[in-house]
Chain A
Amino acid sequence: MLLAFLGIPLGNIGVLSFFTSSSARLWSPVLTTANYREIADAYFLDLIGRTLTIGALATVICAALGYPLAYYLARCSRAALAVALFLLIMPLMVSAVVEAFGWIAILGREGILNTALASLGVPFRIDVLYSQWAVLVALVQLLLPVMTLPLMSAIEDIPVRLEEVAWNLGASPLIVFRRILLPLSLPGLVSGGLLCFTVAISVVVTPALLGGRLGRMLGNEIYDQALSAYDWPFASSLAMVLVLIVFAAIAVIVGTSRRRQSRRGRA
């Protein structure tokens, strides 16, 4: 069932990506690899590179911010957890469009951030709106819960006593983190990171509203090719590239953690 819902549209796009584009009928069923050859152009490679960079940076920043947050959530009292979880999950219930407009109000040339800086007498302005940096900031905000929640449940499964034992054996808090917490919470970090990265490289709305020309990502290109240029075969080939990147990311990460586990098993 699940496989059918995933496989049929995906197969459809896969087939479509080898068709020839036609201005009259969206596509003509003449097989060609021209769509993929077209991607091997500097513009599109640059676009893919930027998409991956933004995705990777958003994932890393989310992990760095999300880990302390997840640790706090996993160890705090029940009452504090209820409040903190509500605050964390609330943004997920707001549309990405609304959030993007919020960021425009904050990051704009005359936005809240620059107005505040000016009134504090800071002589420069932070001009990040309509660039990849605005996209990154918004993505981090959007994806922080996605990273934090799986990480939180992974840390919850590690008994506090285990940290105390390591501490008692002479490990400073930093070493406890590196040698006990991090390896034991790695599955949570991996699934949070994969979710984060996958969503980050396939967003459309956020870069469309905040990215401008500099922050354009693969999702925007697919959207424009499909709905503005009406080149469905080319849009399909771009989509296939995105899907392959996601599969590759999953394969690499799952592969490495498998190898780590089997190495530990042998040791």
Chain B
Amino acid sequence: METEPEPRANGTPPGGGPADTETGLAVRGLVRRYARDVTVGPISFTVAEGEFFSLLGPSGCGKTTTLRCIAGFEPVDEGIIELAGRRIEKVPPHKREIGLVFQTPMLFPHLTVSDNVAFGLSVHGVPRREAARRAAVMLALVGLSELGQRRPDQLSGGQQQRAALARSLVLEPPLLLLDEPFSSLDLKLRVQMREELRKLQRRLQKTTIFVTHDQTEALALSHRIAVLSGGRIEQIGTPREIYEQPASRFVADFIGNANLLEAEVLGWRDGIADITTESGLRLQACAAAAPTARRVTALVRPELVRIGNAAASVANTFTAEVTEVVYLGDEAQYRLRLGVRAELLLVRKLTGGSDTLAHASVVNVGIDPGDVVILSR
């Protein structure tokens, strides 16, 4: 899986420095209050022009609310939203010129696919003939050129969603909002649509905010990701930063598999912290600065745990017993018991046919201090 999309061909990679607020989107201190003390925000982030930015989080984390505030369907109780340097939080939705694609395609059932795509153009006063021509170009771009005269219910789910995307893109919006656009599709189609969207985004360089609860989608597509929880942003970073250097326990747990070990800091010297977990493991962990808290959470990704010969050369070595084996075809997941109480999850890619560890076998386990991330609790 490619986790780092290539930067824009021209200029600085999006998400590098501070976003160029003259052309991109800036959300500052956005707050939306619902009845019964449910509040989203304050949320602040910027999206550079041409950047693919994801809002990732579990359901109810506020990501869709944030998107609806930007589109104008939810009133903003506090804060500002700037698009290309223009304040838009009080502009009515039909004057914001922001594209939006919902979870379900929501094509107008009484219009043909082509008329659906041309709808926005005709509302903006583009002559019928010209609107139809531009709709046809856009339909070709999403691979539906043959289906323009069909009615929406004659299209498959994936085709409908592509038509919905074309309907938004034909207006050439400065900002495109995607609200879990693939979640109504089955898994195989979802993966295919994800690839198509990625190619389209590369080609159009469209500033995009993508809302999803699917971490794989977010990692595969985004220049940067904001992880949300409980109405607040937990972390903003590139897919690699989010995965390898999570800022909080929540982010570490939400993205990918994680061994999260509650631990206590014993000492710190020369970039190495000495910690002991509640389950009784002594570990050395790389830390640029001394941890500020005594009680921390240590993160070890299951695929970074070493076994066998590779385990011998690292600072933290243990003997472990395999207590559970889960075979997943391309990889295997093992549960290891270290000592009396400590448990560790291990994931191994299966390259040959016979390299799975046997149940109840005893193995050498190693953890490189560089693979341990110390999170404050």
Instruction: Give a binary string over A141-183; 1 marks a CB under 8 Å from any B CB, 0 the rest.
Output: 0000000000000000001011011111111110100011001
Contact between B120 and A170, CB atoms less than 8 A apart: yes
A168 CB to closest chain B CB (Å) equals 5
Report the bound CA distance from A162 to B119 in whole Å: 13
Report the bound CA distance from A183 to B164 in whole Å: 20
Among B94-102, B342-350, B355-363, B365-373, the stretch in contact with A = B94-102
Contact between A165 and B94, CB atoms less than 8 A apart: no
Report the bound CA distance from A264 to B98 in whole Å: 30
Contact between A170 and B71, CB atoms less than 8 A apart: no
Report the bound CA distance from A152 to B169 in whole Å: 33
Tell me whether A267 is interfacial, beta carbon within 8 Å.
yes
Report the bound CA distance from A143 to B20 in whole Å: 60
Contacts of B112 in A (CB 8 A): 267
How many residue pairs at the A-B interface have CB separations less than 8 Å? 65
| Neighbour of A184 across the interface among B72, B109, B119, B168, CB < 8 A | B109
Contact between B98 and A168, CB atoms less than 8 A apart: yes
Contact between B109 and A165, CB atoms less than 8 A apart: no
Contacts of A183 in B (CB 8 A): 110
Residue of A nearest to B109 (CB): A184
Residue of B nearest to A162 (CB): B106
Segment 190-222 of B: residues with Cβ below 8 Å from A: none
Contacts of B102 in A (CB 8 A): 161, 164-165
Residue of A nearest to B179 (CB): A161
Most B CB within 10 A of own CB, among A162, A167, A179:
A167
A159 with B123, Cβ < 8 A, contacts A168-B98, A170-B171 known: no
Residue of B nearest to A164 (CB): B73
Report the bound CA distance from A176 to B334 in whole Å: 56
| Neighbour of A169 across the interface among B109, B123, B151, CB < 8 A | B123
Can you give 6 contacting A-B residue pairs, CB < 8 Å? A166-B119, A167-B94, A168-B71, A168-B72, A168-B98, A184-B110
Residues on B lying within 8 angstroms of A by beta carbon are: 71-73, 93-100, 102, 104, 106, 108-110, 112, 115, 119-120, 123-124, 149, 151, 164, 167-168, 171
Q: A164-B93, A173-B94, A267-B112 are in contact. List 19 more A-B contacts (CB 8 A).
A: A159-B106, A161-B102, A164-B71, A164-B102, A165-B100, A165-B108, A165-B167, A166-B108, A167-B73, A168-B71, A168-B72, A168-B99, A169-B119, A169-B120, A169-B123, A170-B97, A170-B120, A171-B123, A183-B110
Residues on A lying within 8 angstroms of B by beta carbon are: 159, 161-162, 164-173, 175, 179-180, 183-184, 264-265, 267
